[in-house]
Amino acid sequence: MSIIITLDVMLAIRKMQLNELAGRVGITAQNLSVLKTGKAKAIRFSTLEEICRALDCQPGDILKFEPADQEN
């Protein structure tokens, strides 16, 4: 997938544990782990909103777009 999740980077910058973020966002740590490891197929706007609120960041700080075929 071309969308890269950089949640772990933001967590490291904010010095926050995954469990703590899960508690603040209101979802399970397992679900957040699915997102962090890039296994998630979709993210709800409400979840994204809560994550951005908890980490005090923009959606672009945790989501990156990298085209799959970079031949140049």
Partner 1 sequence: MESIQKSRGTFKQIGQIIFWIAIASTILVPLFIMLCSNPDAFMKVRGIEYNLESLATGERVILSLMFILMPLVIAFGAYHFYKLFALYEKGIIFTKENIQHFNAIGATLILWWFVGVFIDLGRGLIGQHNGISISSFQPIIMLPTLIGATIIQIGRVMDEGRKLREEQELTV
List of residues contacting partner 1 (CB under 8 A): 27, 31-32, 34-35, 39-44, 47
Element (H, E) at 60: helix 59-62
- Whole-angstrom Cα distance, residue 6 to residue 39? 13
Length of the chain: 72
Looking at the Cβ atoms of 45 and 71, the one nearer to partner 1 is 45
- Whole-angstrom Cα distance, residue 58 to residue 72? 29
Looking at the Cβ atoms of 42 and 71, the one nearer to partner 1 is 42
Looking at the Cβ atoms of 58 and 72, the one nearer to partner 1 is 58
